[in-house]
């Protein structure tokens, strides 16, 4: 049976464009929805590297009231209609996580005349309180989540009450929301850069993109919502391997052997993440292919789109960790950096007014001096002799954003 829409993710962004959350939250909520529908039933065979499965650990990072949960709920409701295995919003212990994965056990029929029955345990967790999974106080949970990300064929654990429990053929997909301050309070400097954190894609937003007083759906939007739900059902019925075309493999070799791939984010906190970028791209290629049709073929165009999507998120990703400094000033300085990133220029009076409850004037002057020394600010004197500060947006444009706008976002008004 054919799809109702030409590209699920593209039309999902069209459906959500008249809502308040930042578009990038909708993009990754849509990606998480497709991944949740595919589960461990779909994969890519990468030879000696083994099978790669379409699961992610995603953290939507932004201020309180930044519409992180709103973006998640829209996609989550569509998944709930399919009655797919969904984990608890908040887990009390690692044992509860194990039990929910075990309870998600299902099977599917391998493609082909003599296809055999394949067992799997696939669980998606949509948690508006992502800090539950990030606290490095619970080392057992961090270690287990790190291991589970790779969807092991054989994975067992022992308990005092039940002995040896088997989570083989498991698959775990997580999307959650967290504020920068909670991210800072839950993680130590030692936790950043390796292990679980290097497997997470941090999607940073800065609050509502607009105010929508009456968020009711039109007749056309209701029809689009229905078609999105029907096509998500099609996606959930897919099974088996995604096929890599020769054109894809040629483009992949050219991209993968470029040294900039492993130095994508020039920040010491992202060394572990940079080493896993290729894996995230592998997974995204499956997502964008499944978004378009049921063919399960990955092309060079899918690679191009996957790279553009990830690089768009990477532009702001370091901002998720501004609060993880060693100094006593780090939390307020985090807010200061977010403030200047959102502006092209500002006066000292405006800055003082914004932070009068958080820092003394002498401290604000020190923050400005630090930002000037690091190349983030430039002092300018206006014709009226007023001193203003101009923000220097230094992130190098890497993705072909015109390409992204003409594909993923082309149906948006």
State mean pLDDT over 62-89. 90
Q: What is the pLDDT of residue 320?
A: 81
Q: The tokens 């009456």 sit on which residue?
A: 214
pLDDT mean across residues, the chain: 85
Residue percentage of the chain with pLDDT more than 70: 86
> What does the pLDDT average to over 149-167?
76
**What's the rounded Cα separation, in Å, for the pair 292 and 7?**
4
CB-CB contact of 405 with 10 (8 Å): no
Give the Cα separation of 47 and 331 in Å (integer): 45
Question: Does residue 356 register a pLDDT over 90?
Answer: no
pLDDT recorded at residue 136: 55
The model scores a pTM over 0.85: no
* Range list of β-strands (E), 100-232: 105-109, 117-127, 156-159, 163-166, 170-178, 200-204
CB 408 within 8 A of CB 10: yes
With beta carbons less than 8 A apart as the criterion, state whether 274 and 263 touch.
yes
Q: Is the pLDDT of residue 50 over 70?
A: yes
Question: What domains can you pick out in the chain, each with its CATH number?
Answer: 8-315+399-407 (3.40.50), 327-391 (1.10.10.10)
Residue 225, pLDDT above cutoff 80: yes
Residue 264 has pLDDT above 90, yes or no: no
Q: Which candidate, 367, 371, 361, places its Cα nearest to that of 391? A: 371
243 burial (CB, 10 Å; 0-12 / 13-18 / 19+) is middle
Transcribe 294-305 into DSSP letters.
SS-EE-HHHHHH
- Mean per-residue pLDDT for 101-126? 86
- pLDDT computed for residue 322 by the predictor: 62
Beta bridge partners of residue 117, listed in sequence order: 109
pLDDT in tens, 273-327: 888 999 999 999 999 999 999 999 999 999 999 999 999 999 888 878 765 444 4
Residue 28 and residue 4: Cα distance in Å, rounded? Answer: 22
Helix, strand, coil percent content, the chain, rounded in steps of 5 = 50, 15, 35
Q: What is the mean pLDDT of residues 18-34?
A: 95
More reliable by pLDDT, 413 or 147: 147
Which is higher by pLDDT, 40 or 403? Answer: 40
How many CB atoms sit inside 10 A of residue 76's CB? 21
Of 124-133, 216-225, 367-376, the range with the highest mean pLDDT is: 216-225
Euclidean distance between CA atoms 296 and 235, whole angstroms? 10
The answer to whether 289 and 297 are in contact (CB under 8 A) is yes
pLDDT of residue 92: 60
């Amino acid at each position: 049976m054919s799809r109702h829409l030409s590209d699920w993710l593209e039309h999902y962004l069209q459906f959500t464009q008249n809502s308040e959350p930042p578009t990038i939250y909708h993009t990754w909520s849509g990606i998480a929805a497709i991944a949740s529908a595919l589960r461990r039933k779909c994969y890519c065979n990468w030879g000696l590297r083994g099978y790669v499965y379409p699961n992610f650990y995603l953290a939507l990072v932004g201020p309180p009231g930044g519409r992180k949960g709103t973006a998640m709920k829209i996609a989550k409701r569509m998944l709930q209609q399919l009655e797919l295995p969904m984990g608890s919003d908040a887990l009390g212990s690692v044992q509860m996580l194990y039990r929910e994965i075990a309870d998600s056990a299902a099977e599917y029929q391998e493609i082909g005349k003599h296809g055999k029955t394949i067992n799997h345990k696939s669980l998606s967790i949509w948690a508006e309180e992502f800090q539950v999974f990030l606290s490095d106080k619970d080392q057992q949970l961090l270690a287990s989540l790190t291991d589970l990300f790779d969807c092991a064929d054989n994975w067992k654990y022992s308990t005092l009450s039940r002995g040896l429990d088997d989570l083989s053929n498991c698959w775990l997909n997580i999307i959650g929301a967290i504020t920068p301050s909670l991210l800072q309070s839950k993680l130590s400097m030692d936790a950043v850069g390796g292990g679980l954190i290097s497997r997470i894609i941090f999607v940073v937003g800065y609050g509502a993109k607009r105010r929508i007083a009456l968020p009711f759906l039109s007749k056309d939007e209701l029809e689009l919502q229905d078609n999105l739900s029907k096509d998500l059902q099609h996606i959930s019925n897919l099974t088996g391997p995604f096929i890599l075309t020769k054109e894809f493999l040629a483009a992949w070799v050219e991209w993968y052997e470029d040294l900039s791939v492993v130095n994508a984010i020039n920040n010491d906190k992202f060394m572990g993440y940079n080493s896993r970028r290729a894996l995230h791209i592998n997974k995204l290629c499956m997502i964008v292919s499944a978004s378009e049709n049921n063919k399960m073929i990955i092309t060079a165009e899918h690679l191009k789109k996957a790279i553009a999507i990830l690089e768009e998120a990477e532009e702001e990703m370091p901002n998720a960790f501004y609060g993880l400094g060693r100094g006593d000033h780090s939390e307020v300085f985090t807010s200061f950096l977010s403030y200047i990133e959102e502006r092209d220029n500002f006066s000292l009076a405006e800055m003082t007014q914004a932070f009068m409850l958080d820092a003394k004037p002498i401290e604000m002057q020190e923050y400005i001096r630090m930002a000037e020394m690091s190349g983030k600010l430039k002092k300018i004197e206006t014709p009226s002799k007023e001193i203003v500060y101009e923000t220097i947006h230094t992130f190098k444009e890497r993705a072909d954003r015109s390409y992204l706008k003409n594909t993923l976002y082309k149906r948006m008004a």
